[in-house]
Amino acid sequence: MGSELYAAGKSNVAITLTPGQAGVFTVSLNGEIEFDKGKLGRYPSLPDAKELQAKLVNLIEAD
């Protein structure tokens, strides 16, 4: 998923991977959690990834 978000944001995005415990997987954009595996009980699906990409592009275009 990191590579897809990086490709969507091109040079305007920084990706940080932070190790966690017990299968933690969260995706944050501008400090706001957009996906949390712990709350949803699953990894992101393809539609989730596409939605995150769209949000990222919208954030970049808004700047």
Q: Which is more confidently placed, 53 or 13?
A: 53
Q: What is the pLDDT of residues 10-39, one digit of tens each?
A: 778 887 878 888 888 899 888 899 999 999
Coil vs helix vs strand at 16: coil
pLDDT band at 45 (very low <50, low <70, confident <90, very high): very high
- The answer to whether residues 44 and 35 touch, using CB atoms and an 8 Å cutoff, is yes
Q: Per the structure, how many domains does the chain have?
A: 1
Given this model, what pLDDT does residue 59 score? 87
Whether the per-residue pLDDT at 47 is higher than 90: the answer is yes
pTM of the predicted protein model: 0.77
Given this model, what pLDDT does residue 12 score? 80
Residue range of the domain that includes 41? 2-62
Q: Which residues of 34-53 are buried (b: 16+ CB within 10 A; e: fewer)?
A: ebeeeeeeeebeeebbeebb
- The answer to whether residues 5 and 53 touch, using CB atoms and an 8 Å cutoff, is yes
